[in-house]
Chains A and B, each alone.
Chain A
Amino acid sequence: MSDALIEIKGLHARAGDAEILRGVDLVIRAGEVHAIMGPNGSGKSTLAGVLAGRPAFEVTRGQVLFDGKDLLGLAPEERARAGLFLAFQYPVEIPGVGNNYFMKAALNAIRTHRGQEPLDAMEFLALAREKAKLVEMPEDLMARSVNEGFSGGEKKRNEVLQMLLLEPRFAVLDETDSGLDIDALRTVAGGVNALRGPGRALLVITHYQRLLDYIVPDFVHVLSEGRIVHSGGKELAHELEARGYGWLEKEPPPGGARA
């Protein structure tokens, strides 16, 4: 399909000896928000990791196209520079590296790739402050070491802040809602919604329907045992919340994922 931003075809991947993805098919167009739900161990985070190029996973079969070009042959940093962003489920701490310094280096690496002038410190700070407001990120966290000593909620805000700064065309949010209270969830979702637009697409991975009340998806998919077993509109999330995942294993999938 010509207007597909991301096209995943028959994707198989493993971690060590364990096969985790067993034929994922999914098409995401620019402007769309897709949600992936599924029980623990169904392969949600593996899918996020494979798309971003995490070295722990090995793709054994299948293909992913980003803007019609092969994605899987690219190094993680090349994918990032091409406009792919992953909001980590467990953001890592980098002691001694200032959060501002880190974000500026990342933004300038990406700007340089896009053929834009790198921002100087003043320009960067102005931009970072503006974006930080969207996720209510306190200024002192910007000056601290990357994620060091941040609470769970602060780490997630920091992920979304980085996403807003880097302005990816395709962002994968891996359980960005986990560990957030309802106020923080609303704030983080507000930040994510600020990025929605006709040129971009989001893939929201979540365990709970709660997040999808705030980031309303166009499509919801259920991942089970490494495959998408069911797809539907936003109401599917509510149905899953009410009925759990068990019924899907009994009923045949209605035609699988959209082709």
Chain B
Amino acid sequence: MSSATDLERLTSREYQYGFSTDIEEDRIPKGLSEETVRLISQKKQEPEWLLAFRLKAYRRFVELLAEEREPTWAMVDYPKIDYQEMYYYAAPRQKAGPASLEEVDPELLRTYAKLGIPLQEQKILAGVQEQKILAGVAVDAVFDSVSVATTYKKELEKHGIVFCSFSEAVQRRPELVEKWLGSVVPYSDNFFATLNSAVFSDGSFVYVPKGVRCPMELSTYFRINATETGQFERTLIVADAGSYVSYLEGCTAPKRDENQLHAAVVELVALDDAEIKYSTVQNWYPGDKDGKGGIYNFVTKRGRCLGRRSKISWTQVETGSAITWKYPSCILQGDDSIGAFYSVALTNHRQQADTGTKMIHIGRNTKSTIVSKGIAAGQGRQAYRGLVKIGPKAHGARNHSQCDSLLIGDRCSAHTFPYLEVKNAGATVEHEATTSKIGEDQLFYCRQRGLSEEDAVSMIVNGFCKEVLRELPMEFAVEAQNLLGLSLEGAVG
């Protein structure tokens, strides 16, 4: 019984959320053209300025395509994507924007129930808590290209908090959307952000007014269901002065042999003394053990600490996707603002991940913390790529980065690419990196105490990630721990 084969068996797994929902869909024709962009905008009855934003992005994207500017610097390999060979809009056929949860297609409710995401608001007086997870958490459910339901809207409105689908925000709070859309990630930012700016179809919008502490966790659950369809959602969160919000996103997709593109943009804005905590548990279909199928997760996430003493933290647990290309970043513009990035990325079988962060220090006494934990198993390949940039006026700026990699087996790899650009002599920048292998000795020690191999690996991995997991909201920390365990669990009973 050699240890290498044991570990291999342990790291093979089944994806739990691979089912698909049979539902009638409304699609617009395959391919990308100005017509596609206009159709999406028209379906959403968007104002002129938003169509103009999309068209600017579309024209830019056409140029980028012609110049073959799809980024190639990341350590990931995939066949060239044909942008004319996919659908840009697919929505379950239902009444436009169901007014209440009762009007949501029961098939959709069943789908979300199966995923463990309750779309019924919890009835506190009923005395029975059916929902095991996410109870008391407001959820925006995005199914392919549209949001199908948002819970607890009324409760949140009492506090003046706007939490709704992006499309609804465009109708209800156009002034807020127009003011902040593209203010953190401009339409011309990068190849995938430009594509998203042209064709984004839905997503979530959050506005927390001055001095309000959001009384519950907000979350968006993304589900890709339609075949050959890309999901391009856009999330915008604005925390006004002195406010606080904690937000979480989760994602799953059916098992399919084809690859599907998910190119999202997330923009966060924190004004004076505001704090945004953004957590992600990403579990897109990772492809099978031979690397067939799976989601390409090419996402631009950025937060702007615009106000003084504002704070933005990104916490991510990335276990899914065939390929992850993602660098949640912070622009620390306000003096004394704080940015944080806590990440666990797990790659198994043939998954590839190139992920990390950018901390751009502009204001004085700005602080950032980076904790990245990479776990590679199977033939997984992953890279941490991080930029810490200290501008000339960022006196007293501080950064601490810590990047640890854990290898399971001997066919995987982990790489670290830290970039530092320091233009202020008074700044302090620290970087630590370690790579370790899950020890045969650790595994044996646990087993000698009566723990199964699966439990032992799961325990060691969770211990390795502890610093990141403890940053997650309580409700999701348990989920994330289970997910990490499951992602490495053997198919054997």
Chain A residues in the interface with B (C-beta under 8 A): 52-56, 75-77, 79-81, 85-86, 88, 91-92, 94-97, 102-103, 105-107, 109-110, 113, 145, 162, 166
Which A residues are CB-close (under 8 A) to B465?
96
18 further A-B contacts with Cβ under 8 Å, apart from A92-B445, A109-B455, are: A52-B448, A54-B444, A55-B6, A55-B440, A55-B444, A77-B451, A77-B452, A79-B448, A80-B447, A80-B448, A92-B442, A94-B446, A96-B467, A97-B462, A102-B459, A106-B451, A166-B449, A166-B450
Most buried by A among B441, B448, B451: B448
Q: Known contacts A55-B444, A88-B445, A92-B439; decide if A113 and B450 are in contact (CB<8 Å).
A: yes
Which B residues are CB-close (under 8 A) to A97?
459-460, 462-463, 466
Q: Provide the bound-state CA to CA distance between A162 and B450, in Å.
A: 11
Which A residues are CB-close (under 8 A) to B446?
94, 102, 106
Q: Provide the bound-state CA to CA distance between A33 and B451, in Å.
A: 27
Chain B residues in the interface with A (C-beta under 8 A): 1-3, 6, 439-442, 444-453, 455, 459-460, 462-467
Which B residues are CB-close (under 8 A) to A166?
449-450
A-B contact pairs, 27 of them (CB 8 A): A52-B448, A53-B447, A53-B448, A55-B3, A76-B444, A76-B447, A79-B448, A80-B448, A80-B450, A81-B450, A86-B448, A88-B448, A91-B445, A92-B439, A92-B441, A94-B459, A95-B464, A96-B462, A96-B466, A103-B449, A106-B450, A109-B451, A109-B452, A145-B463, A162-B449, A166-B449, A166-B450
| A242 shortest CB reach to chain B, Å | 35
| B440 shortest CB reach to chain A, Å | 7
| B459 shortest CB reach to chain A, Å | 6
Rank and list the top 8 A-B pairs by shortest CB-CB distance, nearest first.
A96-B463, A97-B463, A106-B449, A96-B466, A80-B450, A76-B447, A109-B450, A77-B447
Chain B residue nearest to A81 (CB atoms) is B450
Chain B residue nearest to A95 (CB atoms) is B463
Q: Provide the bound-state CA to CA distance between A97 and B455, in Å.
A: 12
A75 touches B447 (CB 8 A): yes
B451 touches A105 (CB 8 A): yes
Q: Provide the bound-state CA to CA distance between A166 and B445, in Å.
A: 14
Interface residue from B6, B441, B450, B459 paired with A77 (Cβ < 8 Å):
B450
Q: Provide the bound-state CA to CA distance between A56 and B439, in Å.
A: 12
Most buried by A among B450, B459, B463: B450
Q: Provide the bound-state CA to CA distance between A84 and B463, in Å.
A: 26
Q: Known contacts A77-B450, A109-B451; decide if A94 and B444 are in contact (CB<8 Å).
A: no
A55 touches B1 (CB 8 A): yes
Which A residues are CB-close (under 8 A) to B452?
77, 109
Chain B residue nearest to A109 (CB atoms) is B450
B464 touches A96 (CB 8 A): yes
| A154 shortest CB reach to chain B, Å | 16
Which B residues are CB-close (under 8 A) to A85?
448
Chain B residue nearest to A108 (CB atoms) is B450
Q: Provide the bound-state CA to CA distance between A106 and B447, in Å.
A: 9
Q: Provide the bound-state CA to CA distance between A162 and B449, in Å.
A: 8
Which B residues are CB-close (under 8 A) to A55?
1-3, 6, 440, 444
B3 touches A102 (CB 8 A): no
Q: Provide the bound-state CA to CA distance between A92 and B436, in Å.
A: 14
Which B residues are CB-close (under 8 A) to A79?
448
Which B residues are CB-close (under 8 A) to A80?
447-450
Which B residues are CB-close (under 8 A) to A91?
445
Q: Provide the bound-state CA to CA distance between A166 and B3, in Å.
A: 26
Chain A residue nearest to B464 (CB atoms) is A96
A105 touches B467 (CB 8 A): no
